[in-house]
Chains A and B, each alone.
Chain A
Amino acid sequence: MNEIIAGFIRALDLMASLDPELIDITLRTLMISLSSTIMAALVAVPAAAAIDSREFRGKRFIMNIIQTLYSIPTVLVGLFVFLLISRSGPLGSFNLLFTPAGMILGQSILILPLVTGFSLTALRGVKPELRDLARSLGATEYQVMMKVIAEARYAVMAAIILGFGRAISEVGVAIMLGGNIRGFTRVITTAISLETSKGNLELSIALGIILLLISLMVNTALNHFQEK
């Protein structure tokens, strides 16, 4: 028990003194997860709009698949992207394995279904009358689609934030594709996992607190957008 309390005290000390390694890991984590969220959103939101704006056979099926993939195990995505970017894989020549870029790719793929699915729900929440209004006012089909996204912007934002929350808190993809290389691909979750097994509780606890704080901020933002 004393050990844990001592760990907490030292952790707060690390945070208060802006420990360089702590700052380094935190900033890298934010950079990687934000990048993967932006990448996923750039694909997911237009994809959701495309699915939403037309009726076609198999639409229900696609939506079922997307929803199933919400809870795909992170290690499975890690394995899949590992096979893609490992030296002998189809993207092997880009040397992405054990780099931040590889992690960003993996996390993007991981959260893509989540962001797509929730964006789709967000767009479906826009009243059909508004599409007719836009169309009637002379909008092209593309302009109608953009208007629908604009009308659902808060709910779409919430979907993106949800994706960020999953990206920053996952460990499977980060460790399999990043390799937890100190000063290069080490992020909060992989650092906690390693430092805890090494018995270095103070850094783990400090990183844990930071992760919780980030989660708190993300959720506050999420609530803010969901209330709009």
Chain B
Amino acid sequence: MNAWVILMNVIELSGIGKSYGDLKVLEDVNLKVREGETLGIIGPTGAGKSTLLRIMDLLERPDAGEILFHGENVDNLKPLEVRRRMGMVFQNTPVFRGTVTGSILYGPGVRGERPNESEVKEVLELVGLEGYEYRKTHELSGGERQRLALAQVLINRPEVVLLDEATSSLDPISRSRMEEVISGLDVTVIFTTHDLLQGQKLADRIAILNHSILQTGSPREIFTKPASRFVAEFVGARNILSGRASITGDGISIINCDGINIYSSEKARGDVSATIRPEDITVSWQRTDSSALNQLRGRVVAVRDSGSLQQLEVRCGGETLTVHMTRKSLHDMGITTGSSVWIEFKASAVHIIR
């Protein structure tokens, strides 16, 4: 494969907008999907995920923006031809009447093709439905329907597979089975989910969608460096503090939060938010002599037991920070609710979000 082919975007969306009446579902969506990657589009319910996939599958026309397929504007292409190179698994997995084989042969049938029995068998095996050839589609369980939907798509050898909440209604066993199948696909896959963990598990890259794309990046980037307060809250980041930032003479930032000042090694000015991961914060009885720039006095207002890790809520000034401690160190130190403690964390542990 040539280098330029690898760099090619399969689908490129720019400035996509879509409204239903007064309801703005998508606004200025920009997204590039790279060849061969598994891209997870994650967002809360009602964020426009399904609409975005339907637009990519050319089932719906956007009100604004353009769609490039392999670098070419789809307005210059026949929708049918583009659609035949993609495949979509729908959220509520509708099924045609008849047998599993009949459903699988529908896609090839409309293309005037007739795959032989072994091809059907192969694709059924791929999704874990071996032996289901002559089952009635209406007798299938939710998980089996999902897998049939995927088989229906895969028999057409699509370049892009679009999966809309493909595992949302499944029991844990069917779900992990479906996830296995999805991660085994060697084509470009775009899937939507509101489940972050699933996104993290399956995706090479994640795009956070809430009417527009808020951030794209590797799962690690999204979780450790959320680009906005919304993303931070959505990915479940703790300790999101807001305040006014300025840059000190030493070239680091100082953020004036509610009653406390926080140092960050990332440069920022003006109104910002910042996150500190609970596991990056240490607790001590006395102020220590350490390299950590952030040393704050606070009072433990709550101790929560979450398995082996204990979760402390420490009130510093007007802010409450969540701190993780092991059960052992909490016990050894004798910290309880009401204790007056010092917490510290490095300036490099403070991630600034806009």
Q: Which of A's residues lie within 8 Å of B, judged by CB?
A: 127, 129-130, 132-140, 143, 147, 150-151
The answer to whether A127 and B88 touch across the interface, beta carbons within 8 angstroms, is no
Give the size category of B's interface with A.
Answer: 20 to 34
- The stretch that binds A, out of B105-113, B184-192, B326-334, is B105-113
The answer to whether B83 and A130 touch across the interface, beta carbons within 8 angstroms, is no
Q: A132-B59, A143-B110 are in contact. Are A137 and B94 (CB under 8 A)?
A: no
The answer to whether A151 and B97 touch across the interface, beta carbons within 8 angstroms, is yes
Q: How far is the CB of A227 from chain B (nearest CB, A)?
A: 14
Q: Which of B's residues lie within 8 Å of A, judged by CB?
A: 54, 57, 59, 80, 83-84, 86-88, 90, 92, 94, 96-97, 106-107, 110-111, 152-153, 156
Q: A132-B59, A133-B90, A143-B110 are in contact. Are A138 and B96 (CB under 8 A)?
A: no
The answer to whether B88 and A147 touch across the interface, beta carbons within 8 angstroms, is no
Q: For A135, what are the chain B residues with a Cβ–Cβ distance below 8 Å?
A: 59, 83
Q: How far is the CB of A200 from chain B (nearest CB, A)?
A: 50
The answer to whether A147 and B96 touch across the interface, beta carbons within 8 angstroms, is yes
Q: For B80, what are the chain A residues with a Cβ–Cβ distance below 8 Å?
A: 138, 140
What are some 12 contacts across the A-B interface (CB < 8 A)?
A: A130-B96, A132-B54, A132-B59, A133-B94, A134-B110, A136-B59, A137-B107, A137-B153, A138-B110, A140-B110, A143-B110, A151-B96
The answer to whether A129 and B94 touch across the interface, beta carbons within 8 angstroms, is yes
Q: For B106, what are the chain A residues with a Cβ–Cβ distance below 8 Å?
A: 134, 137, 139, 147
The answer to whether A137 and B152 touch across the interface, beta carbons within 8 angstroms, is yes
Question: With contacts defined as CB atoms under 8 Å apart, how many contacts are there between chain A and chain B in the complex?
Answer: 49
Q: For A133, what are the chain B residues with a Cβ–Cβ distance below 8 Å?
A: 90, 94, 96
Q: How far is the CB of B96 from chain A (nearest CB, A)?
A: 7
Q: For B90, what are the chain A residues with a Cβ–Cβ distance below 8 Å?
A: 129, 132-133, 136
Q: How far is the CA of A127 from the CA of B106 in the complex (A)?
A: 17
Of B80, B87, B90, B110, the most chain A CB neighbours within 10 A belong to: B110
Q: For B86, what are the chain A residues with a Cβ–Cβ distance below 8 Å?
A: 136
